[in-house]
Structure 1
Amino acid sequence: MYASPSRNAGRRALAGLFTAAMVVGGGSALSMSAANAQESPLAQITGSIGATQFAQDCVALDAGLYQTAYSETENAVYVTRSVGRPPVTESTLTKVDADSLEVLDSVDPAVNDEASGARTAVYGVAVDDANGYVWTTNTRDNTVAVYDAKTLDLVKQYEAGLVDHARDVAVDPESGKAYVSSAASEEGAVYEFDGNDLDAAPTKIELPDLANTVSLDLDPATGALFTVDLGGPHAAKIDTRNGNEVTTYDLGDSVEAASGVTIDTKNGNIWAIDQTTGSAVVVDEESGDVVKNFETGEGALNAKHDDATGLVYVSNRTANNITVYDAATFEQVGDLPAGPNAELGQAPNHVSVDGKGNAFSVNKFAPEAGEGAGKNQLCRITPDGGPLSSVTGSLDQITGSFEGLGE
């Protein structure tokens, strides 16, 4: 039996302020003074990378951050948080204002085991603005849940065991259907849930050439859904508006464990990210040909293409950076930390975009001691929109100072 989720509105306030400066190449540093930092709820790191400048505005949140998703209707970013391995007793779905990065509301998922205190922890997240829903994956319980986007009230908790190791969720804005990947299945599959009928049982879409499906990305214009295989060199496209017809792509012998995927609809390319080799493989969606294969960073985990800017963001979890690429030329135009404070800004996990040119990143590492103990960072990344060029600096050239954290 599920207990009621607990509400934490107002209690998870902004946890601290940061000041930092990025020095790239031979250019001058653009910094935010301590005095200015105290006047702003945001931490900011700003600097030039080639001819493109990126600003990162960051806040510290309780550790365990996993993914983010943006709602245009609410102008909010939804952040999932889960800590440790089962029994997972700490988990939160947090709603953050996309402009100020102020925490608007948060809820702890329901306890599903009174003896251990384990919760139906949230990991993957996607927004259905048409129905006003936030979909989350409950990876440890092999299922999903639906929350009200405005109030964070639990709308639907699906029974445990529906999707083996439910990892990502993506929503088709036209049909209202939600698609969930299965990262620990004996056979490749994606599960389709009906956002217009939450009582309906999910439909299993079989992917015979894949094993464990991981990341998902959906083209909202066509409903085409893309995923990759953690167990082999494959990507797949599911034509969700045409009988779930499946197209499989061979990523080549260099791919060992593809975990991230994103679709560049403008250039017609699928980007697949391999966390074992730290590489990106770009495949032409129509022909299936590999058009580019290059190293992006150790432990490359997730990727996201931004239609508004033509940039691709790659989270390199082991390398502790986010690399940014011009999707048209494959040139690296950014090398960003997971946050301005080096103590907290390690192990970037996920990047999402708002369709307006902003990206949102979260990281997983949290120090066990010191002022930053138990904190991660949520950052908004904003490029200046100027001309793109190759990277001229690295994380070794980033310096920063840390202002104390406090609840």
Structure 2
Amino acid sequence: MMLLPLPCRPAMVMAALLATTAAARAEPVFDTPAPFTGQVAFSGPDRSPAYAGGEVVVSGSGFVPGQEITLSRGGEPLSPAPLAADAEGAFTFSFTLPGDAVIGQHPVVVEAAAPDSAAVADLKISPELPLSGAERYETASAKTAPGVYQLAYSAKSGAVFTVSASGRGDKGTSKIMKFDAATLEVLAEATPFADEANGIYGAFGIGVDDENGTIWVTNTRASAVAVYRQDDLSLVKQFEAGSVGKPRDVVIDAARGRAYVSTHRTRIEEFDLARLEKLEGFELQSAERGGQFGTMSLALDAAKGQLYTVSLRTPELARIDLATREATILALPGAKSASGVAVDPAGGRVFVASQGSDDVIALDGATGEVLFDTPVGAQALNLVFDPVSGQIYVANRASDTIAVVDAASGSITANLDAGSFPNHLTVTPEGVVFAVNKARGEEDPEGDRLIRLVPQG
């Protein structure tokens, strides 16, 4: 019998490798995909903004108990070892950002194993600006009702009006308050309309109609608006619940006898100031493919007959010609979750504050050209332009500051302590700025306050 030679060692190794590879190929690499069910959030300590060089707290929820989670940025893991979801499907850990981390929204890849799934979560690094310029302002404040959202100034009555809403259902509270603009003394207050089906029609947005001696209030949760007398805050008319889908801001156009109301959605509703009737309104279409415009703050250039709004959902600004009723959509490069808008009628400029990108963008109102883009603080929510000083005042909700920006250059001229969660601002014809902020809790002495800033010199 002839004996065949045994294969040499290299041949045996190659054969084994091929057999292993074949076996591996038998295992499905692309097995049944699993939906990503988790949620991941990033913040600084105690839910503060995340800053370069500071601690970042990562919180996860909605994962499968025991599931391993890996987070990475640019291919580099953020934790030294995979994280494990606890019995509730949650995890938490923290790490320190490098000191040279660039501000903006950074994509973090979140990979979960067994079952395998993945998603991208944004880690926002906010600009951290030192306080400055307080000596150039005379500041006073007064307590408002809990959960204050917006305010409006009446030049005719010399009063400031605030609207507040807190809680929901039978535990909900809401107030409309009138303050003397000079002394900050409370002159009147009222509780909004309530019914059995909706409870209190919480007051969230406000606009002043000095021609008719009224204020207009948006009832966001009840999807309605209401009109009150300025002198005693008695109710003039309550529109039915559901008549205005999720109203936010209201701006008064005295020259045309109109009130315009944004809705968080594609519409701006329109009302007749004299007859207190709802009119045709405006429907805005995003210029982005598949995008949906979400109307937020409103700004009126009464002389030119132009109404401006920004979109929360898309990086866009809308300019409506009130004579032709045609809308022009302008791009807001780099803006994320835009919410505030103000206009400089004399200079033809428009200013936009964005919560997601923490900045103020200035544009040419006619061409849409970007004039400057200034980081101002975490969660830039609302802003006003003061034509007297040529300054822009920005409420940075998460930074607890009001940034003051030179409207010509975009440079920051002051950064003021605004207590807790500054929400909204207005400016008088004389250049006095009023703002409101919202408390972090019932025992917060720095929140739910009306603030007055009087520039000095």
TM-score (norm 2): 0.67
Alignment of 1:364-375 (within 5 A): 364-369=438-443, 372=445
Whether the 8 Å contact between 2:145 and 2:175 is mirrored in structure 1 is: no
Aligned residue runs from structure 1 range 159-238, under 5 A: 159-183=240-264, 185=265, 188-198=266-276, 200-209=277-286, 211-238=293-320
Displacement of 1:131: 1.0
Decide whether the 8 Å contact of 2:132 with 2:416 is kept in 1.
no
Distance 2:132 2:337 in 1: 33
> Which residue among 338, 345, 355 is the counterpart of 1:275?
355
Asked if the contact 1:130/1:176 (under 8 Å) is kept, the reply is: no
> 1:270 touches 1:285 (CA, 8 Å); kept in 2?
yes
Q: Secondary structure at the match of 2:221?
A: helix
State whether residues 82 and 122 of structure 1, in contact with CA within 8 Å, keep that contact through their aligned partners in structure 2: yes
Residue of 96, 104, 125 corresponding to 2:206: 125
Q: Residue 448 of structure 2: which of 371, 376, 381 is its match?
A: 376
1:160-181 alpha-carbon deviations (Å, 9 max, x no partner): 1122210000001212200000
The reply to whether residue 60 of structure 1 matches residue 143 of structure 2 is yes
* Higher Cα radius of gyration: 2
1:13 corresponds in structure 2 to none
Match among 219, 225, 229 for residue 138 of structure 1:
219
Encode CA deviations 1:308-367: one digit per residue, 9 max, x unaligned: 2211111100011010111112121111111xxxxxx21000011111110100001243
Equivalent residues of 1:227, 1:237 under 8 A apart? yes
Cα distance, 1:87–1:306 mapped onto 2, change above 3 Å: farther
Task: Output one character per residue of 1:46-76: Cα deviation in whole Å (capped at 9) or x when no partner.
Answer: x9729x7111111122321111101111110
On the 8 A contact 1:324/1:332 being kept in 2, the answer is yes
Show structure 2 runs of 5+ residues with no match.
1-130, 287-291
> What is the root-mean-square deviation of aligned Cα atoms in Å?
1.9
Residue 395 of structure 1: aligned partner: none
1:356 aligns with 2:430: yes
**The one of 133, 151, 157 aligned to 1:49:** 133
**Distance between the aligned counterparts of 1:86 and 1:270, measured in 2?**
39
Counterpart position of 2:184: 101
Q: What do the CA deviations read for 1:189-217 (whole angstroms, capped 9, x no partner)?
A: 2111110111x333220111252101111
| Residue of structure 2 equivalent to 1:6 | none
The separation in 2 between residues aligned to 1:357 and 1:350, in whole angstroms, is 16
Task: Note if 1:76 corresponds to 2:148.
Answer: no
How does the TM-score come out when normalised to structure 1? 0.75
Q: Hey, what's the Cα distance between the residues in 2 that align with 1:350 and 1:112?
A: 28
Match of 2:383, as an amino acid?
A
AA in 2 matched with 1:91: S
Residues 361, 380 of structure 1: 8 Å contact kept? yes
Measure the CA separation in 2 of the matches of 1:299 and 1:369: 23
Matches within 5 A, 1:303-382: 303-338=383-418, 345-369=419-443, 372=445, 376-382=448-454
Q: Within 5 Å, which residues of 2 pair with 1:10-29?
A: none
Segments ≥4 residues shifted beyond 4 Å: 85-88
Which amino acid is the alignment partner of residue 317 of structure 1? R
2:342 maps to 1:262: yes
Q: Distance in 1 between matches of 2:170 and 2:395?
A: 27
**Distance in 2, Cα, partners of 1:91 & 1:223:** 34
In 2, Cα distance between the equivalents of 1:156 and 1:327? 39
For residues 395 and 448 of structure 2, what CA distance do their matches in structure 1 show? Answer: 15
**In the aligned structure 2, how far is the partner of 1:88 from the partner of 1:378?**
24
Partner of 1:22: none
Aligned to 1:111: 194
Q: Using the TM superposition, give the Cα deviation of residue 264 of structure 1 relative to its aligned residue in structure 2, in angstroms.
A: 1.6
Higher normalized contact order (CA 8 Å, seq sep 6+, divided by chain length): 1
Contiguous gaps of at least 5 residues in structure 1:
1-46, 339-344, 387-407
Aligned residues of 2:262 and 2:295 also touching (Cα < 8 A): yes
Select between 123-132 and 81-90 the one with higher mean Cα deviation: 81-90
Are the equivalent residues in 2 in contact too, given 1:267–1:328 (CA < 8 A)? no
CA contact 1:86–1:140 (8 Å) conserved in 2: no
Structure 2 counterpart of 1:105, one-letter code? A
Please tell me whether the aligned partners of residues 273 and 302 of structure 1 are also in contact (alpha carbons under 8 angstroms).
yes
Using the alignment, how far apart are the partners of 2:300 and 2:424 within structure 1?
A: 16
* Structure 1 residue aligned with 2:172: 89
SS at match of 1:196: coil
Aligned to 1:291: 371
8 Å Cα contact 2:306/2:321 also seen in 1: yes
Q: Equivalent residue of 2:320, what SS?
A: strand
User: Residue 346 of structure 1: SS of its match in structure 2?
Assistant: coil
Q: 1:88 to 1:228 in 2, by over 3 A?
A: farther
CA offsets 1:69-96 (integer angstroms, 9 cap, x no match) = 0111111001001113456621011010
The alpha carbon displacement at 1:159 in A equals: 1.0
